[in-house]
Amino acid sequence: MGRAFAYVILGGGVAAGYAALEFVRLRTDGAAGELCIISDEAVAPYERPALSKGYLFPEGAARLPAFHTCVGANDQLLTADWYKEHGIELILGTKVTSVDVRGKTLDTSTGETISYATLIVATGAQALKLEEIGGNGSDAENVCYLRNIEDADKLVRVMRSCPGGDAVVIGGGYIGMECAAALVANNIKVTIVFPGKHCMENLFTPKIAEFYENYYASKGVTFIKGTVVSSLEISSGKVTTAILRDGRRLPADMVVVGIGARANTELFQGKLAMEKRGIKVNEQMRTSDASVYAVGDVAAFPVKLLGGEVRRLEHVDCARRTARHAVAAALDPSGATGDIDYLPFFYSRVFALSWRFYGDNAGEAVHFGDLGFSASSPSTPKFGAIWVSAGRIAGAFLEGGSPEEYEAIAHAVRRGTAVPDVAVLARQGLAFIVRE
Ligand code: FDA
């Protein structure tokens, strides 16, 4: 027989850390011994976005414990000692191998069965492997993914083994673009290959993408678009060449793969309702089983701002907020906790650039600012786009904004500011939202 806890958080990533802090905040009467976190990672929860940013810096790189949660929201730094001090059982290096939702138990890789009264699923997502899209080479010594600390350590090791060398980055999304910037900073020549027409295709408009692609090109990055790496040529355990579908051969001292992620739902298939390839939850983040909540990347939840449309958002702010909401709801059986009312928010930082996006990129995109990149462009440019749908602001993207400007665009999206005449918005740009 194993241990029993009133609350168990399955997974030890971003959402787990923020859930633990909320738990301690709300249980002012003390909650020692009630909460347990089980994670297959070897370290306490940390701010995952740091892995593709500060962690890869050539100098002064971020290292744990400096970026444990919840430092990313200017909150507390929850080191392993913090969990101990608050009587939270942190079971690390332990994979949950099966879950009995009816019996309320979890089996772990160490052979223990742990029971819970309430379970919060925070299993996140895993990087898609090349083999899953018909490719090869994931096990090669110089092929890197980036999801956890181990991946990041491998990436740093491989990067340092080939200074001045050639990297092929597969994928033009978040991971591909952020890793490419880090590789450049580490003096590695980068070619990014992806099948779409432009980078960050799910979010950027062609115009916005053009700015970033030109900016990257000015740093020496080459883009190969509209094709894919069909195979990797391997010699003595290392990739030497990436072969494109059109037959082109790219020399490679290393490869970084960022082709998307898959939510970790396997443990709950057939046991909980699913949607959007994630675990379906209601406005309280509760799943189809009343004792189980799901948060972060794995949760598909109704977004009030989008008319209750169910979305699964693989972004850090979402992990933080859904985790807090689930804990508040789980600790309040009266049901008085309000519905989650989430404003989708994503951000990225690369080179000297930094952008934020709020809301939904639905409708007509109206651009503003100086989107044309040239050698004489300002080192900290300011531009963006506002999406107008059904006469209202639905989403907003801003590069290089001030805290006040970001707050203003977030507010405009949240309110759904009316845009009676798109031409006026196009003329005024950011000033339409940010009044003096
Ligand atoms: P997360 O992946 O953080 O945690 C899941 C945890 O569950 C992990 O500890 C995992 O090991 C564990 N687990 C899974 N299955 C298990 C099992 N069976 N047993 C035990 N443990 C198990 N977002 C953004 O908005 N801006 C950004 O700039 C970035 N940048 C960024 C960079 C990189 C490199 C990555 C990988 C991701 C980002 N993100 C991001 C996305 C953001 O990090 C992500 O949305 C959150 O980490 C999601 O938090 P979760 O807690 O849901 O999953």
The pLDDT tens digits for 381-434 are 999 999 999 999 999 999 999 999 999 999 999 999 999 999 999 999 999 998
Distance (Å, whole) CA 364 – CA 399: 19
Tell me if 294 sits within 8 A of 281, measured CB to CB: yes
For residue range 227-283, what is the model confidence (pLDDT) as tens digits? Answer: 999 999 999 999 999 999 999 999 999 999 999 999 999 999 999 999 999 999 999
- The residue type of 162 is C
Confirm or reject: Cβ of 297 under 6 Å from ligand 1.
yes
Confirm or reject: Cβ of 264 under 6 Å from ligand 1.
yes
Burial tier of 246 (Cβ tally within 10 Å: 0-12, 13-18, 19+): exposed
Mutate which of 21, 123, 169 for ligand 1? The one with the most ligand atoms within 8 Å of its CB, which is 123
- The residue type of 6 is A
- pTM for this prediction: 0.97
Question: Does residue 16 come out as left (phi exceeding 0), alpha (psi in the -120 to 50 range) or beta?
Answer: alpha
Confirm or reject: Cβ of 48 under 6 Å from ligand 1.
yes
For residue range 312-350, what is the model confidence (pLDDT) as tens digits? Answer: 999 999 999 999 999 999 999 787 899 999 999 999 999
Mutate which of 14, 71, 97, 106 for ligand 1? The one with the most ligand atoms within 8 Å of its CB, which is 14
258 C-alpha vs ligand 1 centroid, how far in Å?
A: 14
Alpha-carbon distances of 413 from 342, 360, 406, rounded to whole Å = 12, 9, 11
Question: Does residue 363 come out as left (phi exceeding 0), alpha (psi in the -120 to 50 range) or beta?
Answer: left
Average pLDDT over residues 135-163: 98
202 C-alpha vs ligand 1 centroid, how far in Å?
A: 19
Distance (Å, whole) CA 262 – CA 309: 20
Mutate which of 36, 43, 48 for ligand 1? The one with the most ligand atoms within 8 Å of its CB, which is 48
Distance (Å, whole) CA 50 – CA 367: 30
Report the pLDDT value the prediction gives residue 434, as an integer from 0 to 100. 87
* Prediction ipTM score: 0.99
